Structure 1
């Protein structure tokens, strides 16, 4: 992919923390507009570092961060441009929330852009509505449930109207209903034109949700491609310290039994498998032996 077709890209980027080994070396990585991207890898593989480099929280020792093909400058003007394009929401919402109320917290970013009060209020209302927490606008942040705090942190990023929203383990700590509601919210944001990048350890979620996947392997390597194909690569998953997704294993079993044609997309969720069974899937041409 050319830099001109990527919203944000890291080119030849290397980074290491002070007095520590190099975390990423010579990395090339790009975020394609309109694609849901899952970022996967074991702890220590560099996922958090990569996300902070993309969002401007860290500056590469070597290489460049590009937005729309143009190098990012790390002065006030350059970082403001970057943060209206890319926003990162960290895993623990308590590391991000600090204001007394939900609306005050969500308004922080737009206020820092120097927007008129009317525009700030409009952005806050829009973000709260997008995250389905409009009724919590005046609620003190310390009285929110964990799921509500997650949504408030995401709303603060959405209020900046970024083209790319990066989420670090957004479903971690949520119960199944909370996870489904958050995924529905992310689908709504994508429908509105926001490109979403999600770091996760959940290969089943990545297969179900993502268009593309990026696997980070020890030593700073990264493999990127369509999620369905990349997450079927047992060799890369093993190198990245991850297991084969449930849906891939089921699809292989169905193909072996002739219930799914070779190359046909398999079920990504138990619900899709149940629907396939209910439809009476029988042997099909092209199935394995």
Structure 2
């Protein structure tokens, strides 16, 4: 009996043979193939300087590959106004530091900036802002000046600004950095709700334990190339993680130690 082959989710955004080098700097990524499948949560991991942020900026249009192609729904992205508008309506990047992203006087003004730039009617802009504020649980901060927000509130406001664009893919660069454990859990809950409503979420992180707990898939950047697979299997690859400058997830490391000392049998966890 032949078992059916599981369907592979189509890629929403995809980089093919992507290459990027900063001006007067070394090549950061070269010949990279990287696809973001629809409906999945994907954690991107790697050591500092491995190219995580560069890859995220290439996927969202903040950088243009020096070679290779970026595709949205299978169609090449043109780096003119029309093409970039299409890309940014599909993929939204939230930077690691919210202060690099927030600039308006109030939360509502900041969240409305993107939809207004799309030329939407006022009623549609208000609906998107209301939806984003509710999704990020910051409706009560609507009129708050952005400079009076806490760090966690600024993080959620920055994400709300991206969510208001109603992207198919939300890309976050180290979104839990600087948050206390309660703030991290609150943010993960928000991301879970966004994913349940159809948003694909990509998160760059150094936290292997967080990636294992949260993500369906993981991508580990090592020597300029991403290795992609289901999170439990990939993040249990000791050799790969060592090459990428990462540690085994805490639970995996403890399990291995208990087995090595005969306190846990094979198949037990």
TM-score by length of 2: 0.94
Task: Pick the aligned partner of 1:71 from 68, 76, 87.
Answer: 76
2:9–2:38 Cα contact (<8 Å) kept: no
How far apart are 1:251 and its partner, in Å? 3.3
User: Secondary structure at the residue paired with 2:17?
Assistant: strand
5 Å-filtered alignment, 1:1-289, equals: 5-218=10-223, 220-253=224-257, 257=262, 259=264, 262=267, 266=269
Provide the alpha-carbon RMSD of the alignment.
1.8
- Structure 2 Cα separation of the partners of residues 260 and 9 of structure 1: 42
Structure 2 residue ranges without an equivalent (≥5): 1-6
Shift of residue 258 of structure 1?
A: 6.9
How many positions carry a matched residue from both structures? Answer: 263
CA distance in 1, matches of 2:221, 2:230: 15
Whether the 8 Å contact between 1:4 and 1:69 is mirrored in structure 2 is: no
Kept in 2, the 8 Å contact 1:3–1:69? The answer is no
Between the aligned partners of 2:147 and 2:105, the Cα distance in structure 1 is 8
* Preserved contact between residue 3 and residue 9 of structure 1 (Cα < 8 Å): no
C-alpha separation between the residues in 1 aligned to 2:51 and 2:246? 15
- Is 2:255–2:264's contact at 8 Å kept on the other side of the alignment? no
Greater shift, 96-105 or 240-249, is seen at 240-249
Moved over 2 A (4+): 250-262
- Deviation string 1:239-263 (CA, Å, 9 cap, x unpaired) is 101011112123334556575653x
Q: Deviations over 1:162-213 (max 9, x none)?
A: 0100000000001111111001111110111101000000001001101100
The 1:64/1:4 distance shift into structure 2, 3 A limit, reads: farther
**1:106-159 CA distance string (max 9 Å, x none):** 000000000000000000000000000000000000000000000000000000
Q: How many Å separate the matches in 1 of 2:258 and 2:9?
A: 41
